[in-house]
Structures are given as C-alpha cells and as structure tokens.
Amino acid sequence: MLTTQWLYALSGCLLLALGLRSALLHPALLQRILAINVMGSGVFMLLIAIAYRGPGMPPDPIPHALVLTGIVVAVSATALALALARRLTREQPHD
Amino acid sequence: MNATMLLIFDALLLASIIGLAWAALASADARRSVILFIAFGLLLAVAWGRLLAPDVALAEAAIGAGLTGALLLAALQWQPRKTADTTNSEQPTHTLLETGFRWLVTLLCAALAGMLAWSLTQIDAGTAKDALANAVAANIDASGVSNPVTAVLLNFRAYDTLLELAVLLTAVLGIFALGPAQAGYRIAGPVFSSLTRWLTPLLILTAGYLLWVGAHAPGGAFQAGATLAAAGVVLRLAGRDQIGLPRGNALRIALGAGVGMFLLVGLALFALGRPFLGYPPAWAGALILLIETAAMLAIAATLVSAFIGGQPTEEKTRC
Amino acid sequence: MTDALIALVALPLTAALLALLLPRIATALVIFSGLAITASAIALLYGVNTAGALHYELGGWTAGLGIALRADGLSAILLLMIALVMFAASVYASAYFGKASERAQFWPLWLLLWTALNALLLSGDLFNLYVTLELLGLSAVALAALSGKHAAVQAALRYLLVGLLGSMLFLVGVALLYAGYATLDLATLTQVVKPGPIAWSALTLMTFGLLLKTALFPLHFWLPPAHGSAPAPVSAVLSALVVKAAFYLVLRLWLDVFADIVTPTAANLLGVLGAGAVLWGSWQALRAERLKLLAAYSTVAQLGYLFLFFPLLLALPPGPARDVATGGLVMLALTHGFAKAGLFLAIGIVQQRSGHDNIQELGGMVQRLPLTTFAIALAGVALIGLPPSGTFLGKWQLISAAIATGQWLWVAVTAIGSLLAAAYIFRILGHAFGNQPYPHQAVAVAREEWPALLLTLTATLVLGLAGAHVWTLLENGS
C-alpha cells in the first residue's frame, strides 16, 4: 500500500476505535449517536483509502459506491434514532 | 504539488479530523458536540476529495455533514443541553469500578485499532487488488454511463441501491409512525427571507444539474436528492408553510418512488426475458436516468420528512 | 426455478409499496402476497431439492462485478419457515390491530421486514448482506416501537443502537476482506480466503457484530425489553425470525466461507457462551413475572442451544456425522421458530383479553381460552424438548454428538437447560390450568387463535414426525 493509503487507513482505524469507545461509554444519548456516526466515518475512510491508487491514477470505484451507500444508510439510521429519542422526551418533560 | 507538501497537507488534515472527532465526542455539551461534528463532516468531505473520491465528497458534504447536521441541530431543541450528572465540573466523577471499566473499554478499543492496523500490514501483496476495478473498466461501455461510480451504483450493483432506497423508506415510515411533525419555525426576518429567495431556486437547479451530470462526472441521484432536500430544509427554516413537500397520498408516492421505479424497471426487464435489473446496453443510459430521477425525488422527500420529524400536519404552530 | 429467487424479494417489496399507497386494501394485499411468497418458497425448496444449490446473477453481471443471489438446502428450508411464520403472524395481525390507522402504519413496515429477511437469506454478496442487515434492523426497530409507549420506545432505541454497533463491526470485517481479497462475492471468497490475520480479524469482527444481533449471552441484554414490549405479532417475528437471520449468517460464515479458518478453540468459546445463554436465560425465564419476558428469556436460552452445536460440529470430521449433527441444529432452529412465534401470538391473545400478561394472574385461563392455552401448552412441549417435537430430535442429535466427541459438558448443560425449561413451562401451565374462575371476558377471535395453534402444532407434531425430510433436503440442496 502507498504511504497515503497507510496514513488514511490508520486514521480510519483510529476513528473507529474513538467512535466505539464513546458509543460504549458516553452518558448522553446524542453523543452516542454521534459516536456511531464517527465509527461509520472511520470505516468509510478505511474503504476509500483502500480504493486510492495514487495521484493521477483512477481509483477503484467499488469502495466509493459502497461508501455512498453507507452514508445514506447512516443518515437513515440517525434520523430514526433521533426520532425515537424525541418521542421519549415527549413522555417526560425536562427542564 | 510535490509529495512532501501533500504529506504535510494530509497530516494536518487528518490531525484536524481526528481532533475534531475527539473534541466532539469528549464534550458533555450537546450543542458543542453537534457543531464540532458538522465541522468534522466537512473536513471529511475535503479528505474524500483529496483521495480522488469526488462523488463521495459531494455526498458527504450534502448528506453526511449537511443533512445529518440539520437533523442534529433540530434535535438540539428538545435535548437536555448538558449531561444530567455534570454539576460544576466538566468531568463527572466515577467510582473505582466505573473507572476500571472505562479503562478496560479504552484498552479494548485501542486493541481493536491495533488488530486492524496489523491485519492491514499482512495483506498479501500478491493477490490481484484490481480485479474488480478492472472488471468495472472493462464493462463500463456496456453500462450506459461513463462515471464508474454511477455505473457501479445504478447498474452493476443496482440491487444494493434498490435495498438502500428501501432502508430510507423504512426509516421515514418508522419516523412517521412515532408521531406528527415538529412545530415549524417562525417567519424569518428580511435578510434570511431574501436569502432563501435566491438560495432555493439555486439549490433546485444545482440538484437538477447534479442529477444530469452524474452520468459522466461526479454527481448522481443521491447528491441531487440531498441538494433538493436542502432546498426544503431552507424553506422550512425560513418559516414558510409551503416547503415543496407534497401532502397525503402524493407524499407517499414520492417516498416510494425510488423503490417503485427500480422495481418497475427490474420486473419489466424480467418479464421481457432479461435478467432482473439487466438493462439492455442501448437503453441503459436512459433507464438509469429514469431510475435516478425517481430516486432523487424519493431521497429528497425522505430527507425533508425526516428533518421535519414526522408526517406534515396542517396546523401552523410556530416555535 | 431461479425465478423464485427474484420473486421472494420482489413480492414483499412490491407489496410494501402497494400497502403504503393503498392502505384500504392493504390487509387483503398482505394475505394475497403472503400466499404468493409462501408458494415461491415452496417452489424454491422443490427446486433446490431436485437441482441442488441455485444461484442467480443480478443484472446479468458475473458474481463479483455484480451481486449474486444464492440458495441451498439450508437457506431454502429457513425461507419456508420464514414464509409460514410471517404468513401466520400476518393473519393474526390483521385481527390484532383493531384500528385502520394502526394497520396502515403496520403493514408497509411489516412487509419491508419480510423483504429484509428474504433478501438476507438469499444474498451471496458481503456488502449486500450489510445492507440487508440494516434493512432488517431498522424495520424491526420501527415495528418494535409501534405502540408508542415509553417502555417500548426506550427498548427500541437501545435495540437500534446495539444493532447499529453490530452492523458497523460487520462492515469493518467486509472492508478488511475487500482489502485482502478484492472480492465481495461469498462463493469467490470461500475459495480464496486463507488462514491469516486478515481472515481472523474479519471473522472475529463480523462474528462479534452478528452475536450482538443474535443476542448471544452476554450480549443479550437488549432482547428481553425489546421483545417484551413490542406488539404481539412483532415479538413473535423478532424472536422467531429476526435473531435467527443473524444466527444463520454466523452459521454460514463459520461452516461455509471460513470453514478452513475456524479453530476448535474459537468454537469452544461459542459453545461456552451458548451454555451461559442456556443456563442464564432459563434461570431468568423461571424468575420472570410476565409472560412476554418469560418468552423473551426463553429465546435467549434456546439460541444458546444453537451455539452449543459449534464445538460439536467442529470436532466431528466433515462427512456424514457432521451432516447429521447439522441437521439437528437446523431442526432445533426450525422448531424454535414455529414454537416461539406461536407462543408469542398466544400470549398476545391473553394480553389483549386481560390487559396484562402477569403469570400469577393467569388462573383458570383454560376455561375461557381453551385453544390459546392449548397452543401455549404445545409451545411449551416444543421448548422443553419432549417428543414428538422437533426440539426432541434436535436435542437428541446434540447429545449424541456430544457423547460421540467426548464433550460431556454440553450434555450436562442441555439436561439442566431442559429441566429449567420444564420448570418455567409447568409454572405457566399450572396457573393456566387452575380451577380459579378466570376474571376477564374472553371472546376468542378465530383469526388470532388459529395461527397460534397451527404454528405450535407444526413445531410439536409436524416437524417431529416429518423430521427426516429436513436431513434429506439439506443433503440434496448442497
């Protein structure tokens, strides 16, 4: 793998670990949802790094398509999670 | 740009990205976390552009940072601002057992990253990494489009896209089942109002352009749909009643249009003896554009409905 | 015959759209498409039985560039189970949801869930599996939260977050495999994957993600609240089918794709976790105060039995002995699917009549709801593992294989688990068959009772008596 690929792939792994840690440990729901999104971004970075072939060379389009699909799936899941959370707060008024 | 400068750029970019992610997740203040997360998303889009993934960069900016950001900002209205157990200090106090558990989880996550990194070093350099990329390049002329990502999404792996549109539909139906839409916003002041008068047609035009150009340049249904949704979001934020979202049965048709068009084309081809979603090369370009148009409408309707938080109501409540 | 592969995905998805657009005829649509899907599943089973494993390349592109659908004996049998259980639960749901507005929200999501289940079982592509897992997860969550009550929404939110975590880990595995082998096609991967860090890491990540989704002890914490608060037909399908889909993927990965990579140690780990599930789940079921919680914990326990098979299957050499044991595993999975679905549907009837499902207050239920009580009793027989239920055949295979490979621990676990199951089932039946007057009005609705009864009858009688066919089908279909 190229140096650039390594750099981004490792950063992707780091984002994944960061996201996972917060998803498990953060007390607030919103940040846990953000954490899962960060995890997703980490995996996407890993995929796009794998697809990169170097400056001026056409990259592998399949991981790009996978990441695009993943982004849409992630926003769907986030939207549903936020709607569920909003429904919960409607039951209990908060200050 | 020579290699060293690129390397420095990459290092700075990645440091910023990771730093923003860390700051967003470490914060106990929801508003700060969301804003940092949106910035994180925008820098990710820059990274995707850097890695020669312009389609993904557009999608990340429009959907990942833009619409997700809008959803999160709207969610802040009913979220508690700070975590319940922080009083004066930034860090909540933990018992010894809790601290031990937190360290254990941190260690395990670090181990996960390490295991992944190590596995990547062990990739066998001999296996043909470009097998699928070459297959795409070999078949792209028969796919009806010249943008390889669009070819993969709408032709070679169209079934994935069909199911992904079903995922979008499922999410919005789930949101609808949870209750009516959130209250609208109050009518915007003169500055924002005049901005929306310029912005909305521009967004709609850009969406149409992205849809059309996606066949031979970065773009496509998802980016177009998100841009169109942005127009709806802007109108909503400006306090308008009419945000372009259809009502009642027309809304349901719009939401199901993506999946519906895919099934229509796929089953029609199947009935005509071709494989399911196997476009004849002469018609492929036109069929892909047809499906993408329907998908764009569906994506836009879905994302706007998700933003307003439920099925559009007739009341004109303001907040 | 390959048409059935397309039909199984296209039918429920089309029906979902039509149900969304035409809510007034939605119920009829569901019943009609349910019959069509069941017919397709039977056609697929017949096709697999005669021609062996089937595959279909979508779009006409070779698998690798495009996505392939695949079906063999295992997936065909499970698809038929899914079709029958979903159809029965659909009939039940048409009566369970009294208001038209409830049904209008329910049917599209229900059909999308069915699409996800079928698409998952037929998928032959790694990334496509991820997308189907997400579709399955989101539709299941949306259905679980449908009642809108606080407990249900909270449980659904937790289910969603756990599910997303699982899918994300699965996706990391997929990315790793693509990095290592440049393919997403399962059949191609099976041939090129070699033992090494990539394969181990990918398998570990994907398995962990799937174990979260299949609620294997100790990752089961999300299941009892989610299954316990969902509407009855949803609970039935969540316990019987949705968790099974994730289990099916673990099975497929461990026995098929990564067959050369898995080690006996890893399989033993799964077995130990399965044992924990059996014991802990059965114990919690015994202590449960509510019928639905009891059934949910029972699911945790029964899934544990399925994982007990892993160390046994790996200890047996590939060949007739392993195939017989695999058949036992499938038999257990099938029987649990039918029995648990029937149980949840019957509990739903009880809950609707009396407004609650507390076990202590079931007294005399048999007088007013005889068919429902009988269905619960039959489900109980199938869950304990008494003959002639399919569970008996499955557990028999489990114990035989354990004795043959000298792994006596699993025999002990199975015995204790079955005793605990007997205890909690008889606890319910003791109350239900009591002499106290049943305090609630109980007018039975045929559309609700008969699906529950038929499902449990299948589990207890049909599967047990026709069990030999399962083994034949598995063999012919490979």
Nearest CA in chain B to A31: B25
Tell me the per-residue pLDDT of B145-155, one tens digit each, with 9 for 90 and over.
999 999 999 99
Residue in chain B nearest A39 by alpha carbon: B21
Contact status, residue B305 vs residue B246, Cβ threshold 8 Å:
no
Question: Average per-residue pLDDT in chain B?
Answer: 90
The mean pLDDT of B252-259, rounded to a whole number, is 95
Nearest to C124 by CA among B308, B172, B211, B159: B159
Residue B88 confidence (pLDDT): 45
The tokens for C240 are 């019987």
ipTM at complex level: 0.95
How far apart, in Å, are the Cα atoms of B80 and each of A84, B206, B237, C255, C270? Answer: 15, 37, 22, 48, 41
Helices (H), C56-149: 73-96, 100-122, 126-144
What percent of chain C has a predicted confidence (pLDDT) above 90? 71
The verdict on whether omega for the bond into residue C388 sits within 30 degrees of 0, i.e. cis, is: yes
- Nearest by CB to residue B170, choosing from C6, C125, C138, is C138
**Minimum distance, in Å, between the CA of residue A40 and any CA atom of chain C:** 7
Q: Determine contact, residues C477/C76, Cβ cutoff 8 Å.
A: yes
The beta-carbon neighbor of C153 closest among A29, A73, A88 is: A88
pLDDT band at A91 (very low <50, low <70, confident <90, very high): low
Inform me whether the C-beta atom of residue C192 falls under 8 Å from chain B C-beta atoms. Answer: yes
Residue of A nearest to C130 (CA): A70
What tokens appear for B138 in the block?
Answer: 């070999």
Say whether pLDDT at B1 is over 70: no
pLDDT at C54 over 50: yes
Higher-confidence residue of C305 and C467: namely: C305
Give me the pLDDT at residue B126, please.
Answer: 64
- Least Cα distance to C469 among C367, C330, C359 occurs for C330
B117 vs C260 pLDDT, higher one: B117
pLDDT of B268: 94
Neighbours of chain A (3+ CB pairs under 8 A): B, C
Q: Which amino acid is at C92?
A: Y
CB within 8 Å: A84 and C168: no
- Structure confidence at residue C442 as a pLDDT band (50, 70, 90): low
Is C131–B160 a contact, with Cβ atoms under 8 angstroms apart? yes
Q: What is the pLDDT of residues B93-134, one digit of tens each?
A: 678 888 999 999 999 999 999 999 999 988 877 667 888 888
CB within 8 Å of chain A, chain C residues 169-188: 171-172, 175, 178-179, 184
Quick one: CATH architecture of A3-91? Answer: Orthogonal Bundle (1.10)
Q: Give which of C13, C69, C101, C192 to mutate to test B binding, by max B Cβ within 10 Å.
A: C13
Indicate the domain borders of chain A.
Answer: 3-91
Query: What's the rounded Cα separation, in Å, for the pair A24 and A35?
Result: 9
Question: Measured between alpha carbons, how far is C343 from B53 in angstroms, rounded to an integer?
Answer: 51
Flag whether residue C58 sits within 8 Å of chain A, measured between CB atoms. no
Tokens of B162: 């069909």
Alpha carbon distances (Å) from B303 to B173, B183, B312, C109, C308: 12, 17, 13, 18, 44
CB atoms within 10 A of CB C214: 25
B114 vs B108: CA distance, rounded Å: 10
Cβ of C127 within 8 Å of Cβ of A32? The answer is no
> CA-CA distance, B64 to B79, in Å (whole number)?
21
Would you state the pLDDT for residue C306? Answer: 95
pLDDT at residue number C103? 92
The DSSP output letter for C217 is: T
Q: Crossing angle, helix A29-51 and helix C150-181, to 10 degrees?
A: 20
| Ramachandran bin of B30, using left for φ above 0, alpha for ψ from -120 to 50, beta for the remaining angles | alpha
In chain C, what percentage of residues exceed pLDDT 70?
Answer: 99
Query: Are A28 and B40 inside 8 Å of each other by CB?
Result: no
CB contact under 8 A, A22 and B25: yes
User: What is the pLDDT confidence band of residue B3, given thresholds at 50, 70 and 90?
Assistant: confident
Mutate to test the interface with B, among C29, C65, C242 (most CBs of B within 10 A): C65
In this complex, the residue of A36, A43, A84 whose CB is nearest that of residue C164 is A36
Whether residues A69 and C131 touch (CB distance < 8 A) is answered with: yes
pLDDT of residue B85: 47
Placement of tokens 């967004």 in the chain:
B203
Contact A11 B68 (CB under 8 A): no
Asked whether residue B89 carries a pLDDT value surpassing 90, the answer given is: no
CB pairs under 8 A between A and B: 233
pLDDT tens string C263-301? 889 999 999 999 999 999 999 999 999 999 999 999 999
User: Which of B293-307, C79-93, C306-320 is the least confident region?
Assistant: C306-320
Q: Residues C330-360: pLDDT tens digits?
A: 999 999 999 999 999 999 988 888 878 888 8
Read off the tokens for B151. 């070819």
Here the tokens at position B146 are 């010249």
CA distance A50 to chain C (A): 6
Residue type for B107, please? L
pLDDT at A95 over 50: no
Task: Output the pLDDT for position B92.
Answer: 59
**Residue B268 to residues B104, B254, C59, C265, Cα–Cα distance (Å):** 55, 21, 13, 51
Q: What is the pLDDT of residues C385-436, one digit of tens each?
A: 888 888 999 999 999 999 988 888 999 999 999 999 999 999 988 888 877 7
Min distance C387 CA to chain B CA atoms (Å): 41
Give SS3 for B54.
Answer: helix
